[in-house]
Amino acid sequence: MLFGEYDFLARFEKAAQCGFRGVEFMFPYDYDIEELKQVLASNKLEHTLHNLPAGDWAAGERGIACIPGREEEFRDGVAAAIRW
C-alpha cells in the first residue's frame, strides 16, 4: 500500500498531493466514519473500494464467506461494509 510510512488518515493528503482522485483501502472499520468522510472531502478524494471484514486477520483469516457456521457474522460484515 502506498504511503505506509504515514498514519492512515495522513495518507489521504499524500495521495491528493500526488494527483490521485480516488483511494481504496482494505479495512476502514477501526476508524470513525465521519472523520474519514471529512478527510476524503477536504482532499477532494473519492472512496472507491474497501473490503468486507475478513474475520480474525491476526489469526490468519482472510475471509469468512465460505466457513460453515459463520453465516451470521458474514451477513453482519456485509451490513457494516454497506454503511461505509
- pLDDT, residue 16, reads 98
User: pTM for this one?
Assistant: 0.80
pLDDT score at 42 = 98
- Of 27, 28, 33, 1, give the one whose Cα is nearest residue 14: 1
Distance CA 66, CA 16 (A): 37
Q: Which three cell numbers stand for residue 65?
A: 464467506
pLDDT tens sequence across 10-66? 999 999 999 999 999 999 998 999 999 999 999 999 999 999 999 999 999 999 999
Residue 1 has pLDDT above 80, yes or no: no
Average pLDDT of the chain is 94
The domain ranges of the chain are 1-50, 53-84
User: What is the predicted pLDDT for the residue at 84?
Assistant: 82
